[in-house]
Copies of this chain bind each other. A is one copy, B any other.
Amino acid sequence: MIFNRRNFIQTSALATLGGIILPHNSYSKMKNGVQPVKGLKLSFEPYNLQLKHVFTLAGSSRSTTPVMLVKIEFEGITGYGEASMPPYLGESHESATKFLSALNLQQFTDPFRLEEILEYVDITAPGNAAAKASVDIALHDLTGKIMQQPWHKIWGLSAEEAPVTSFTIGIDTDEVVREKVREASEFKILKVKLGRDTDKQMINAIRSVSEVPLCVDVNQGWKDKQMALDMIHWLKENGVKYVEQPMPKEQINDTAWLTQNSPLPIIADEALQRLTDVQKTVGVYSGINIKLMKCTGMREAHKMITLARANQMKVMLGCMTETSCAVSAAAQLSPLVDWADLDGNLLISNDRFDGVKVVEGKITLNELPGIGIQPV
């Protein structure tokens, strides 16, 4: 399924593609002068985030991230959503345009039916997790605004339970790393991407200027479990609090051994995407890193947290490079988690929204309804 022409024409009537309104076939329905649009009105706009610094992972570097900014309108109220699509995850402006154009949300006249609407969105095509998340986020923003409450309150959470967020220090020369760490003095925990020959050098460069707690993301970079364990012991001595995805996700037995022997919690990232993946991380990892762009949005993320907690697992909430739209959506869940890594909006120079803030390193939710944002 399912990008047939009939669906595309029906729904593309609603889509704004880069500012161009596509032709539509709804003229016949409007001939009596009656506005026929009673359902949800979806529109979207491709956008490129400009990174403040070139971003280096274990394997690639880039200076922009494509996102799709999404609106769902209903009875004069607008819900905002966003899909962030870093290239290595396989989505793009093109794939998201194709996916969102194939959706007919106009058939839904009650935005509260999230279970039904998001089931329809999910089965429209496989994959497209970020594009699906953009719809989920916009619907949460919309329904929260109708209820006039932010989602952290609707979920029964207390804003002051929100954790501190880590801030990522990219791989760079010692001099640049030291400079970045000094600039990040507001943050109570810094995140470091490891998995290269220079891992210890990177930690030492940070420790030469700061005693701030650290967490590390290895992005599957270590292949040998004993070497990984030795490294984790060294990292613990150097003030690291937890380790994300130390080994390739396929090395399940090695990872389970590492988790069992590690003095630090081992968090699954690449090893899981969605709700159905949580169970297979039990007994292998200490916890999971949930990202809206991987798991299709707030609704599924909330269920994943419930499931992880029932299995006595740690929960971390992460993000991609995103505007304050998707970051604020994730932040609504943050009072439920142990650690947040919600710095995606802090890394860009062209944010389109005002939303959640980081105050003295802590995620600070506002009282705005929905996901807590305003366009700027």
Fill in one digit per residue for A253-281: 1 if any B CB lies within 8 Å of its CB, else 0: 00000000000000000000001101100
Q: Judge whether A224 is part of the interface by a CB distance below 8 angstroms.
A: no
Q: Judge whether A173 is part of the interface by a CB distance below 8 angstroms.
A: no
Would you call A153 and B279 a contact (CB within 8 A)? no
Would you call A156 and B307 a contact (CB within 8 A)? no
Q: Judge whether A310 is part of the interface by a CB distance below 8 angstroms.
A: yes
Q: Judge whether A107 is part of the interface by a CB distance below 8 angstroms.
A: no
Residue among A113, A157, A303, A307 having the largest count of chain B Cβ atoms under 10 Å: A113
Q: How many copies does the complex hold?
A: 2
Q: Judge whether A112 is part of the interface by a CB distance below 8 angstroms.
A: yes
A305-330 residues with Cβ-Cβ distance < 8 A to B are 306-307, 310-311
Fill in one digit per residue for A60-102: 1 if any B CB lies within 8 Å of its CB, else 0: 0000000000000000000000000000000000000000000
Would you call A310 and B157 a contact (CB within 8 A)? no
A248 to B110, CA, bound (A): 45
| Contacting residue for A115 out of B113, B158, B303, CB 8 A | B158
Q: Judge whether A56 is part of the interface by a CB distance below 8 angstroms.
A: no
Q: Which residues of B contact A310 (CB under 8 A)?
A: 275-276, 278-279, 303, 307
**Min CB gap A291→B, angstroms:** 19
Q: Judge whether A154 is part of the interface by a CB distance below 8 angstroms.
A: yes
A292 to B253, CA, bound (A): 40
Would you call A157 and B307 a contact (CB within 8 A)? no
**Min CB gap A107→B, angstroms:** 13
- Name A139's closest neighbour in chain B (CB-CB): B156
Would you call B156 and A115 a contact (CB within 8 A)? yes
Q: Which residues of B contact A154 (CB under 8 A)?
A: 112, 147, 154
A311 to B282, CA, bound (A): 13
Q: Which residues of B contact A275 (CB under 8 A)?
A: 310
- Name A307's closest neighbour in chain B (CB-CB): B310
Q: Which residues of B contact A115 (CB under 8 A)?
A: 155-158, 335
Fill in one digit per residue for A138-171: 1 if any B CB lies within 8 Å of its CB, else 0: 0000000011110001111110010000000000
Q: Judge whether A176 is part of the interface by a CB distance below 8 angstroms.
A: no
Q: Judge whether A299 is part of the interface by a CB distance below 8 angstroms.
A: yes
Would you call A113 and B278 a contact (CB within 8 A)? no
Q: Judge whether A114 is part of the interface by a CB distance below 8 angstroms.
A: yes
Q: Which residues of B contact A112 (CB under 8 A)?
A: 149, 153-154, 156
- Name A150's closest neighbour in chain B (CB-CB): B112
Q: Which residues of B contact A158 (CB under 8 A)?
A: 113, 115-116
Q: Which residues of B contact A306 (CB under 8 A)?
A: 303, 306-307
A313 to B14, CA, bound (A): 40
A60 to B174, CA, bound (A): 78
- Name A302's closest neighbour in chain B (CB-CB): B306
Q: List 17 A-B contacts (CB under 8 A).
A: A110-B153, A112-B154, A112-B156, A113-B157, A113-B158, A114-B156, A115-B335, A116-B158, A147-B148, A147-B149, A154-B154, A275-B310, A278-B310, A279-B310, A279-B311, A306-B307, A307-B310
Given contacts A112-B154, A113-B158, A307-B310, 12 further A-B contacts (CB under 8 A): A112-B149, A112-B153, A113-B156, A115-B155, A115-B157, A115-B158, A116-B161, A147-B147, A147-B149, A147-B154, A276-B310, A306-B306
